[in-house]
Amino acid sequence: MKNLNACIVMFLAVASFAAPPDDSWMSKIRSGHPRMFFNAETWPAVKARAEGPASAVRKALLKRCDKYPDNPVCSGFDPVVFREVKTASGTHTTTAATPINSVKEWGPQAAECALAWRFTGERKYLEKARKMLESSVAAYHAAYRNGRAVNWTSTTRILAFCAYDWIWEGLTPDERKAIIVPLVRHVEDIQPGKGKPNIIRRNAGGVSSGFYGVPSLLWYSGLAAYGDGFCDELAKRHLLRGHDLCLKMLKFRNDGAGDDGALSSAVPGYSMGAYPWAHFNFFHTWLSATGENLAPSYPGMALFPNWIYWTWIPNEAHPETPLYSGFGDDAHTHNALSVGRLYEHMSQYMHFFRDTNPAAARLSAALRDRAPMQHFGNPWVMYPFLFDGGDGGVKPYSAEELENLPIHARHFENLGQIIMRSGWKPDSTYCTFTAGAKLHQHKHHDENNFTIYKHDFLALDSGTRGVETDWNLKYYYAQTIAHNCILIRRPNEPLPSYWGPVYPGPEGKTNDGGMYNGSAKVFAFETNGAYTYVASDATAPYGKKCKEAVRQFIHLLPDVFVVYDRVGAADANDGKAWLLHTKNEPNVKGRLLMADSGKGRLFCETILPEDATLAKIGGPGKEFWSNGKNWEPDTAFLASAERGTKRTGRGPYFGAWRLEVTPGAPRANDRFLHVLTAADTSVSAPPKVRRISDGNRDGVAIEMPKAGGVTTEVTILFNREGAVGGTIAFGKDKPHPLATTIQPQSGI
């Protein structure tokens, strides 16, 4: 209490120098209960849905509640014991960063029983909910005393607050106090801060993350408890702070979306998983508590389905499991797009934005129609009863409209992704180019990286997140060497930081030519019916060892890619390497690589450097080779991934081989020029390519096939020095300058 009072005094002292916060909005909060997700006025409609369109969901809920124990007991709140554990890849010592089991408590089940009581009026459900809350609150405090987190996320405890709010009318004042006071106290205790005890695996993630850590509890704590007369002062502080954080979260997400669509991270497992819950839950509870819909004030957030549409690769063999590039902290087992919550999330976007952005709502509806599960999932038990299950008058885009979009690339500036494609069908060609991210959640050291897909993943991100007690995560998978990038190898350079367990040996001390934190600068982007062009400067992320790292990247529709790299090292003795990762062993003859994966085939021809050496690295014992060590993931995890491959016929996409193209002699400056072609395995050779040059320019002439067996020669020249640029010409047409600015794009 002494520390708490000191913090309050400090807070008041700092606040006295700033403008007083505007808390006039608090007068809008309903005085009675319920007020979380529904209220007295909206409850009849909720109950009507439960007895109508969602009756099957209600019946299943009641059946589960009947099976819950009358006297629930919690467990798993004992102290964490650090010990050595043996995994298939070796012995590891658990630390405070190692994942731990969650406390087994009853927050979600209490919310279910609370709804069951409201639906039926049967006292048994009210009693179950009450006892579940009392038991859970005791477990939360026990976990705190033992220095361990209840859960990595706030979900179960938010549902505990909901349960209290929903059964409030059926409780006596003493019963209310016995639940809400220690529950609010727990939220206060668990917040990070100076003088607070260390809590193992406490998720203190703020507004720039998924916002499902302990700070997100403040809004729900304050909203549930404020005005009840038991802990109003503390509840008010939580309500004010929670409101402030939620508004900052909305602003961050709205600004981060830009004019293209994004949600804090370009890894779908996060942005299409738990991340949307934070803003939708706040929208819902603000609406139920005040009667106001905040969503129209954040129009950028309506655009998120646009990114889903662009990152989505249709899967011909399993349409219910779309694919994507495998960006960032994806496990790379199958590179499957996270669509388990798609129906739920798209229903929310339709609900909140159908009037303010009809085009976004239509795209949401079209994607929702493709969701493999046409229902809401756990744990938010109230969601099925907040929507009528219909389309709300929103007409989805047709398959023809989605598949025949005349635009072939989209620049998601804040996510740092340029997504290119020849179409939106299973046999189309897809490419993701990474550069310029402003949102770095779960992103790797991979500026100017590219991935290519046709029939299967041909140029891929390698490595895997695996299990979090293995070293592949920190020492290979997140590093530049695991991506299709440039390396500048400076001896004894410190390893860039990333999360994961620490490896004690010398191999884990050195950077293998990669980047550090920071973003490239995209300074040119153009897309049209013939090609897409990107120019990006990644000099800064390489630090002092680099004088220039500029990549110019052209997608010649439908299947050819031209990559030109201007690389300057601060020390000519620092070795350079151009990387290309493949799933299977490539065949390299001279300067031409051919690599197959599934029904897809990739050709890569090295044009520059003239004295280039091409080396294959990989195979058994060297799949993840870096700094003299193979950073192999846990073998039990690998075996599990292989079993998944047998079921799906795809993956795993950890990569096992890479091509390293290196200059034949040390030089301060080098130029790399490559032409890649994506095809199916029936194609025996790529288009004919010849090197051309023009004064201070390097280039290629490519015989591009056209319909009827006709070919047209495409000539591309890049400036070797000076201003980054060049020209492109089709046949005998006049050469067209490559763009030097960013083509604007916005909306759906």
**According to the model, what pLDDT value does residue 23 have?**
87
Whether the predicted pLDDT of 129 surpasses 80: yes
Strands 736-737 and 726-730: antiparallel
Q: Which of 422, 360, 430 is nearest to 395 (CA)?
A: 360
pTM of the predicted structure, to 2 decimals: 0.94
At position 639, the amino acid (one-letter code) is A
Whether the predicted pLDDT of 93 surpasses 70: yes
Q: Which residues pair with 603 in a beta bridge?
A: 594, 677
Whether the predicted pLDDT of 11 surpasses 60: no
**According to the model, what pLDDT value does residue 21 have?**
63
Whether residue 277 contacts residue 380, with contact meaning beta carbons closer than 8 Å, is answered with: yes
Whether residue 562 contacts residue 700, with contact meaning beta carbons closer than 8 Å, is answered with: yes
Whether the predicted pLDDT of 18 surpasses 90: no
Whether the predicted pLDDT of 22 surpasses 90: no
Q: Which two tokens stand for residue 620?
A: 């058994």
DSSP code string of 458-489: EE--------TTSSHIIIIITSGGGSSSEEEE
Q: φ and ψ at 600, to 5 degrees?
A: -105, 155
Give CA separation, 284 vs 454, 556, 712, in Å.
41, 46, 57
| Number of helices followed by number of strands (H, E) in the chain | 17, 26
Whether the predicted pLDDT of 85 surpasses 80: no
Q: φ and ψ at 99, to 5 degrees?
A: -55, 145
**According to the model, what pLDDT value does residue 83 have?**
79
Label each residue of 184-220 as H, E or C: HHHHHHHCCCCCCCCCECCCCCCCCCCCCCHHHHHHH
Q: Where are the domains of the chain?
A: 28-257, 272-403, 405-683
Whether residue 348 contacts residue 392, with contact meaning beta carbons closer than 8 Å, is answered with: no
User: For the segment 249-290, what is each residue's pLDDT rounded down to a tens digit?
Assistant: 999 999 999 999 999 999 999 999 999 999 999 999 999 999
What would the mean pLDDT of 488-505 be, rounded to a whole number? 93
405-683 folds as Beta-galactosidase; Chain A, domain 5 (2.70.98)
Whether residue 38 contacts residue 49, with contact meaning beta carbons closer than 8 Å, is answered with: no
Whether the predicted pLDDT of 14 surpasses 80: no
Q: Which two tokens stand for residue 669?
A: 């400056």
Whether the predicted pLDDT of 341 surpasses 60: yes
**According to the model, what pLDDT value does residue 15 have?**
40
What would the mean pLDDT of 717-741 be, rounded to a whole number? 97
Q: Which two tokens stand for residue 540?
A: 């800064």
Reduced to 3 states (helix: H, G, I; strand: E, B; else coil), residue 223 is: helix
**According to the model, what pLDDT value does residue 13 have?**
40
User: For the segment 194-218, what is each residue's pLDDT rounded down to a tens digit?
Assistant: 888 999 999 999 999 999 999 999 9
What would the mean pLDDT of 104-126 be, rounded to a whole number? 98
**According to the model, what pLDDT value does residue 20 have?**
56
Band (pLDDT 50/70/90 cuts) for residue 1 is very low
What would the mean pLDDT of 384-409 be, rounded to a whole number? 91
**According to the model, what pLDDT value does residue 98 have?**
80
Band (pLDDT 50/70/90 cuts) for residue 6 is very low
Rounded Cα distance, 345 and 363, in Å: 12
CB 507: neighbour CB atoms within 10 A?
17
User: For the segment 137-151, what is each residue's pLDDT rounded down to a tens digit?
Assistant: 999 999 999 999 999
Whether the predicted pLDDT of 613 surpasses 80: yes
Instruction: Please give the distance of CA 5 from its chain centroid, rounded to a whole number.
Output: 39
Band (pLDDT 50/70/90 cuts) for residue 590 is very high
Q: What percent of the chain has pLDDT over 90?
A: 88
Q: Which two tokens stand for residue 653?
A: 């996409």
What would the mean pLDDT of 513-538 be, rounded to a whole number? 97
**According to the model, what pLDDT value does residue 153 have?**
97
The overall average pLDDT reported for the chain is: 94
